[in-house]
């Protein structure tokens, strides 16, 4: 008897469009009836690429599940999101940077990235409106081609780019893309955190660089479809407020390393449809479900928790609680997990350190026993000194 066929498995005579439609239907079932999909953005993709082994995040993001609402329904709400004040301040600063047809923004691009080109004068700012993300992505690709062929400076304000991630398309919206007179393209990222004396918070700059690397990959996909393919510059322009003012300043950020890492990590992601096919029939992640049913659905997908998830994932508090309850060493961090080899739980680590389990020839076990011996000697020495006093 042949094995049962999953709901989304290819059928004989299926057209690619029909198979794709059925796959999207399966992902809609995972969200729940009538629940709209939450779009993937570059920040989520950068976080996903930083932890490619986490199937839970991959399927939830791929299906468009609202992870913040899901975390709240599980009783572990996240502290994600900007405050209303920060959101309004960021929008006001971006509007200031792009005022007058992006004159100040283009001046910064010219000064920081392309000083040898003709100074930007009256730049083109094409209309990028269209129906749906697919339409906007197609309109953006057309505008990029026209701007490259026309020469001169062109500013694309909030273009829409598409990038295939784990077998599903993700639509991304950078703050801006600039086409240079030589036909090359630059990603522009506008942030509301300040640059003090010409330098910004390294952690925030790193996060912006990883996010920009995702845009770079999507832009390279567009460039690859043109002949000859335009050059996508590997230095992006980061625009921030200067010191404590609202005046814009900028820095060129080399994202070659982040681009290479992100590309490699995204290729390692398990295809979302492959993960969906392993789930039991009827699994749904709708926040409207009872807590017990929802918890069982979430636990049906394995997670790979690490402390870094606290800064990037809405479900981090839930996954941390589960990881701690299981005594998993991943709660100690990726570096500790790598050093401990085959010891996957805190209980295993303590047993190995006390000589109750583990192979003595295992370097990790030997190091743990040596550390336990040194600790016991140190504590004994402290006890003797206290007794003498």
- DSSP character string of 211-225: HHHHHHHHHHHHHHT
Per-residue HEC secondary structure of 269-287 comes to CCCHHHHHHCCCCCCCCCC
Question: How many angstroms separate the first and last alpha carbons of the chain?
Answer: 80
Q: What six digits make up the tokens of 283?
A: 């699994």
DSSP bridge partners of 251? 238
Is 8 in a helix, a strand, or coil? coil
Q: How far apart are CA 246 and CA 349, in angstroms?
A: 53
Strands 235-241 and 248-254: antiparallel
Q: Furthest-apart CA pair in the chain: how many Å?
A: 87
Backbone angles phi, psi at 242, to 5 degrees: -85, 125
| Cα dihedral 11/12/18/23 (nearest 10) | 20
pTM (2 d.p.): 0.72
DSSP bridge partners of 168? 165
Q: How far apart are CA 346 and CA 368, in angstroms?
A: 12
Instruction: Give me the domains of the chain, ranges plus CATH numbers.
Output: 84-267 (3.90.320)
What is the distance, to the nearest Å, from the Cα of residue 111 to the centroid of all Cα atoms in its chain? 30
DSSP letter (8 states) at residue 329: G
DSSP letter (8 states) at residue 194: -
- pLDDT in 10s for each residue of the chain, 389 residues: 333 334 444 444 455 556 555 556 777 888 888 788 787 788 888 887 778 788 898 888 888 888 988 999 998 887 665 567 777 888 889 999 999 889 999 999 999 999 999 999 888 999 998 998 999 999 999 999 999 998 899 999 999 999 987 667 789 999 999 999 999 999 999 999 999 988 899 988 988 999 999 999 999 999 999 989 999 999 999 999 998 888 999 999 999 999 998 888 787 766 777 888 888 888 899 988 998 999 999 999 999 888 888 878 889 999 999 998 888 888 888 778 778 877 888 888 888 888 888 778 888 888 888 888 888 888 876 566 666 66
Q: Which residue has the tokens 């920009």?
A: 212
Q: Which residue has the tokens 């992870």?
A: 67
Q: Name which of 123, 222, 236 is nearest 188 in CA terms.
A: 236
Q: How far apart are CA 147 and CA 154, in angstroms?
A: 6
Q: What six digits make up the tokens of 184?
A: 């090359």
Query: What angle (nearest 5°) sits at the alpha carbon of residue 135, between those of residues 224 and 185?
Result: 35
Q: What six digits make up the tokens of 316?
A: 């981090």
Q: Do 296 and 312 touch, CB atoms closer than 8 A?
A: no
């Amino acid at each position: 008897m042949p094995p049962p066929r999953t709901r989304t498995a290819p059928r004989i005579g299926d057209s690619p469009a029909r198979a794709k439609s059925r796959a999207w239907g399966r992902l809609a079932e995972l969200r729940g009836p009538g629940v709209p999909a939450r779009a993937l953005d570059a920040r989520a993709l950068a976080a996903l690429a930083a932890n490619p082994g986490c199937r839970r995040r991959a399927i939830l993001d791929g299906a468009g599940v609202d992870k913040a609402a899901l975390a709240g329904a599980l009783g572990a709400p996240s502290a994600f999101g900007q405050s209303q004040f920060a959101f309004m301040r960021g929008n006001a600063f971006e509007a200031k940077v792009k005022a007058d047809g992006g004159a100040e923004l283009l001046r910064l691009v010219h000064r920081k990235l392309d000083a040898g080109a003709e100074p930007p004068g009256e730049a083109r700012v094409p209309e990028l409106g269209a129906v749906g993300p697919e339409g906007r992505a197609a309109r953006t690709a057309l505008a990029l081609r026209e701007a490259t062929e026309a020469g001169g400076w062109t500013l694309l304000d909030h273009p829409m780019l598409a990038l295939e991630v784990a077998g599903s398309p993700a639509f991304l919206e950078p703050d801006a893309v600039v086409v240079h007179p030589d036909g090359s393209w630059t990603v522009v990222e506008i942030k509301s955190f300040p640059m003090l004396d010409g330098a910004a918070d390294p952690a925030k700059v790193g996060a912006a660089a990883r996010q920009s690397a995702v845009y770079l990959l999507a832009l390279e996909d567009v460039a690859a479809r043109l002949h000859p393919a335009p050059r996508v510059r590997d230095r992006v322009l980061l625009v921030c407020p200067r010191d404590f003012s609202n005046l814009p300043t900028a820095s060129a950020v080399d994202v070659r390393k982040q681009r290479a890492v992100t590309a490699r990590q995204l290729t390692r992601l398990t295809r979302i449809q492959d993960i969906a096919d392993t789930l039991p029939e009827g699994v749904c992640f709708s926040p409207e479900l009872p807590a017990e049913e929802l918890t069982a659905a979430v636990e049906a997908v394995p997670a790979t928790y690490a402390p870094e998830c606290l800064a990037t994932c809405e479900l981090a508090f839930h996954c941390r609680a589960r990881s701690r309850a299981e005594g998993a060493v991943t709660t100690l961090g990726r570096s500790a997990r790598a050093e401990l080899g085959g010891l996957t739980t805190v209980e295993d680590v303590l047993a190995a350190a006390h000589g109750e389990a583990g192979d003595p020839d295992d370097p990790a076990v030997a190091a743990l026993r040596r550390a336990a011996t040194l600790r016991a000697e140190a504590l004994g020495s402290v006890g003797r000194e206290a007794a003498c006093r």
